[in-house]
Structure 1
Amino acid sequence: MSDNPNKDICDMLIKLGEHERDVNGIIYKYHAYRKAAKALEAYGKRVESGAEAQKLSGIGPKIAAKINDFLQNGCDEDIQGSSKEIEQETSPTSERKSKKIKKDDKKDTSSNHHNNKSNIEASSTDDDLIEESFDKIYGMTKIDVMYLKIKGIKTIGDLRNNITIAELNEAQQICLEHYDDLRLKISRKEIKKFEKLISQSLKKLSNVNVEIEICGQFRRRIEECDKIDVLIIDMKTKSTDSDAERKLKKSMKIIGKTLLAEHIIKKSLALDGSYFAGIVNLEQSSPYRLMNLHVVPKDQYVGVLFHLTGSEQFWERIRLHCINQGFILSSRTLCRIGQTLVPGLPIKIKSEEELFDYIEYPYVEPKDRQ
């Protein structure tokens, strides 16, 4: 994008999209940011404001607001703040070491450093509390939380009273409506009932051939779960098929429509290719739950099963171990890194035990992948 007059803005949007995909796991936002970046690149001239950017196809009010901030401040402060939080999570001592050096070099300003540090820590704690209160609003990221805070929206009560100002999308409004239900834990018994309903429903379909497995906290044998993660294996599709993506999208569309028509899924939150999210409840008097469905080709079943089972902390430990062993582990495949540092073709893996063997890591039972 060397001839792109909006290159700096596009880079910022792509970075945000990759953060949503890699850290938050929100694929549809990743695609939204990339679509916006492509629209800016195709525009051919420098945008002067968020309002101008919003006139382009593929750029909505929220992305336009981020672009406006970027243009006004010279850098996106919200993005920088989010990046700092991520760095602190991966290297918790780095900031403290930096502050200690500054304190030693400038002893006469030590009291100011102490006060600043206290303010930062207090602000961080406040941000954590705000973010925690919004964690059941679908697609709500750290950056979204920062924007709400700027607008004075710090609690669910504030959000309910300022839906227009908050610019919530339809999915987020649904989650806000059922917020109290979505905070409740889900028993294994209830999840098993959903598993049976989905399995019975999909077996009746003649145009898809799938198998299902419940992943996430349920597969880790946790007694009370936060949400329901359903892995759907498309037995007719391989990742090497020339039209694999089209097949998976078609299967997901059929499955989503079927589960909505049979009122197993009550409300749709997102449909992005082979991913579907919705709100479910067993009976009219039962609490609403969040359900995520992932359709995958049969040859990527093991990789996705592994990714959707362990906690984020466990996944990160294994991913880093793989890098040290000369592998790249993605949410779907395991590839060996070649001499040119370019990942090779995906390794054919038939089971999780085989995956652990390949990366030379002792097998960990699903219940211990915390």
Structure 2
Amino acid sequence: MSKRKAPKSEKNEDIVEALIELAEYEKNVERNRFKEKAYRKAATIIAGLDKRIKSGDDAKALPGVGDKIAKKIDEILETGKLRKLENIRADDKSTAINLLTRVSGIGPAKAKELVDAGIINLDDLEKHKDKLNHAQLIGLKHFHDFEVKIPREEVKELFESVKKVADSIDEEYMMEVCGSFRRGAKFSGDVDILLCHSEFKHSDKHHGDLLHRLIKKLTEKELVTDKISEGDTKFMGVAKLPKHKHFRRLDVRLLPVDEYYCGLLYFTGSNIFNTEMRAHAHQKRFILNEHSLRPLECGKPGAPLPVSSEQDIFEYLDYPYKKPEDRD
């Protein structure tokens, strides 16, 4: 997945970008996941507004916006900037950690380790490749390409190319692009494909070579250029279309056919929508996750319910159906 996905808002873009930057700081430097989640939730809610926020009090009427975030919004509205962010940007260590975590495969702990060793920029990383693992080396190799957002049409083209290869192997493959793309985003940070096969069910002990044979063929066709990791059910790597100049992050996840639609719902997102739907399921005495929908029986999850579409899940839960583009 892309490491930095900021929601967009034409009306409140300055506020949204500031909150996302604060979230990145809390995640990468302070390692405070609670504050990170709070900033991201507020940013997502504000990004969905179709009108300009006029004050912090105005923002506090929104879910996920408390006093502290409201005060920061007031400061942005009144001064056009945020003192806390200026202090963060002026701190060399914080800036270096935030930069290094943008390299795919480098998390906050590794970034701090590198900065503590005196490695503060990409040039330093190039000189100390011995400190990086395989995934991080690929992230460094393609850093500039991974920073470039993928236009929707290019995601479609890459997906269609992958699907064409899959169909040539076995027409029983089924797949779809998930994430923000499926929710209608104009640009994506990476391409996440959910894959299944009609003969692969949860009860099967072996996955066969369903994923491996697809990746093998994609590599032979030179669509896949680098492998970060490859297991029986998940591939992480790099892809490139012949007529395009940028290399792109590609993830392919294999699910059993009887888990496919719960997985499709979950991996489409958004995170806020998933949280709300799982909470609703619990109120209705169900357990919903990326694998299954189960009724709660005497406080314990029962057998998975048969699910043959996303709509089935909404109907079981008596939850109004929302199209993917309405799940932000």
Q: Deviations over 1:52-81 (max 9, x none)?
A: xxxxxxxxxxxxxxxxxxxxxxxxxx99x6
Distance change >3 Å, CA 283–CA 134, structure 1 → 2: farther
Residue 231, structure 1, aligned to residue 194, structure 2: yes
Contact 1:232 1:293 in 2 (8 A): yes
**How far apart, in 2, do the equivalents of 1:163 and 1:351 lie?**
46
Distance apart, 1:274 and its partner CA: 0.4
Q: CA deviation at 1:180?
A: 0.4
Task: Confirm or deny: 8 A CA contact 1:325 1:359 kept in the other structure.
Answer: yes
Displacement, 1:276? 0.4
Name the aligned partner's letter for residue 253 of structure 2: H
* Per-residue deviation, 1:124: 10
Q: Does structure 1 retain, via aligned residues, the 8 Å contact 2:183–2:324?
A: yes
CA distance in 2, matches of 1:222, 1:182: 17
Aligned residues: 263
Which of residues 137, 142, 155 in structure 1 aligns to 2:103? 137
Q: Which residue number corresponds to residue 129 of structure 2?
A: 163
CA contact (8 A) 2:269 2:327 kept: yes
Q: Deviations over 1:130-164 (max 9, x none)?
A: 55534553333233233233333343343333322
Instruction: Report Cα offsets for 1:44-103 as digits up to 9, x if no partner.
Output: xxxxxxxxxxxxxxxxxxxxxxxxxxxxxxxxxx99x63xx123345689xx99xxxxxx
Q: Which residue of 2 aligns with 1:356?
A: 314
1:204 to 162, 168, 176: 168
1:122 CA drift (Å): 5.2
* Alignment deviations for residues 278-312 of structure 1 (CA, whole Å, 9 cap, x no partner): 11111276110001101111111101111111122
Once the two structures are superposed, residues 177-229 of structure 1 have per-residue CA deviations (whole angstroms, 9 ceiling, x without a partner) of 111011111112112221221122122225x8312211112211111111111
Amino acid across the alignment from 2:315: D
Q: Which residue of 1 aligns with 2:302?
A: 344
Partner of 2:217: 258
Distance 1:326 1:144, change over 3 A: farther
Query: Matches of 2:87 and 2:282 in 1, distance apart?
Result: 36
How has the CA–CA distance of structure 1 residues 292 and 361 changed in structure 2, closer, same or farther, with 3 Å as cutoff?
Answer: same
Name the counterpart of 2:143.
Answer: 179
C-alpha distance in 2 between matches for 1:125 and 1:357: 52
Output the amino acid matched with 2:301.
P
Whether 1:305 aligns to 2:264 is yes
Amino acid at match of 1:317: E
- Whether contact under 8 Å (1:233, 1:298) holds in the other structure is yes
Indicate the RMSD between aligned Cα atoms, in angstroms: 3.3
- Tell me the equivalent position of 2:226: 267
Greater share of residues in helix = 1
Tell me which residue corresponds to 1:6: none
Which residue identity lines up with residue 363 of structure 1 in the other structure?
Y
Q: Secondary structure at the match of 1:268?
A: strand
The answer to whether the Cα contact below 8 Å between 1:219 and 1:366 also exists between their aligned partners in 2 is: yes
SS at match of 1:353: helix
CA shift in 2, pair 1:120/1:187, >3 Å:
closer
Following superposition of structure 1 onto structure 2, how do residues 76-155 of structure 1 map, counting pairs within 5 Å?
A: 82=31, 85-89=32-36, 130=96, 132-155=98-121
Q: Which runs of 5 or more structure 2 residues have no equivalent in the other structure?
A: 4-26, 40-63, 69-82
Q: In the alignment, residue 290 of structure 1 is paired with which amino acid?
A: R
1:280 alignment partner, one of 239, 254, 258: 239
* 1:328 Cα deviation after fit: 2.3
Change (3 A) 1:264 1:356: same
Query: Closer, same or farther in 2 for the Cα pair 1:254/1:223, shift >3 Å?
Result: same
Paired residue type of 2:215: G
- Could you tell me whether the CA contact under 8 Å between 2:101 and 2:111 is conserved in 1? no
Query: Does structure 2 conserve the Cα–Cα contact (< 8 Å) formed by 1:136 and 1:182?
Result: no
Q: d(CA) in 2 for partners of 1:345 and 1:256?
A: 33
Query: Which residue of structure 1 lines up, in the alignment, with residue 326 of structure 2?
Result: 368
Q: Percent identity?
A: 25
The alpha carbon displacement at 1:344 in A equals 2.0
Using the TM superposition, give the Cα deviation of residue 255 of structure 1 relative to its aligned residue in structure 2, in angstroms: 1.2
Whether contact under 8 Å (1:220, 1:368) holds in the other structure is yes
Q: CA deviation at 1:123?
A: 6.2
